[in-house]
């Protein structure tokens, strides 16, 4: 099924981010399966999911709201990565590519939000 959200750069990069989050959490302690592992994976999956859901909405303001939710999930993931580092579940070298992807996705989302707002505010 070819949907418009699949062409969005933000969605493509956020899919990479979700896969990276799964890879990073793969070796977390078993006792974290329903804790930090699930939280991180959920936050990471939430990013492309909200982009897709927002793109399916009828109005740009609705889409923007979902993009803000996607950015909030990025903040959640950022906090959870900090905790994983603090607990020594992962080392900085493993986190670096995830952080780079988060930055890329955040910038891409910010640009998309700006573009959608400009479209709705122009006469």
Q: Is the pTM of this model over 0.85?
A: yes
Domain count, the chain: 1
Range of the domain at 12: 4-121
Instruction: Write the CATH number for 27.
Output: 1.20.1440.60
- In this structure, are residues 104 and 13 in contact, taking their beta carbons and an 8 Å threshold? yes
**122 pLDDT more than 80:** no
**CA atoms within 13 Å, Cβ hemisphere of 110:** 7
Within 8 A by CB and 6+ apart from 105, the residues are: 10, 13, 14, 17, 47, 74
pLDDT in tens, 31-75: 999 999 999 999 999 999 999 999 998 899 999 999 999 999 999
- In this structure, are residues 44 and 77 in contact, taking their beta carbons and an 8 Å threshold? yes
pLDDT in tens, 86-107: 999 999 999 999 999 999 999 9
Task: Report the range of poorest mean pLDDT among 11-20, 40-49, 66-75, 112-121.
Answer: 112-121
């Amino acid at each position: 099924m070819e949907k418009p959200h699949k062409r969005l750069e933000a969605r493509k990069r956020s899919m990479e981010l979700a896969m990276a989050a799964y890879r990073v959490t793969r070796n977390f302690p078993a006792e974290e399966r329903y804790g930090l592992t699930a939280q991180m994976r959920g936050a990471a999956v939430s990013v492309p999911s909200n982009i897709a859901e927002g793109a399916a909405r009828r109005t740009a303001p609705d889409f923007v709201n979902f993009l803000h939710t996607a950015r909030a999930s990025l903040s959640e993931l950022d906090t959870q990565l900090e905790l994983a580092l603090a607990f020594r579940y992962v080392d900085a070298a493993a986190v670096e590519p995830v952080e780079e992807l988060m930055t890329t996705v955040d910038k891409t989302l910010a640009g998309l939000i700006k573009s959608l707002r400009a479209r709705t505010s122009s006469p």
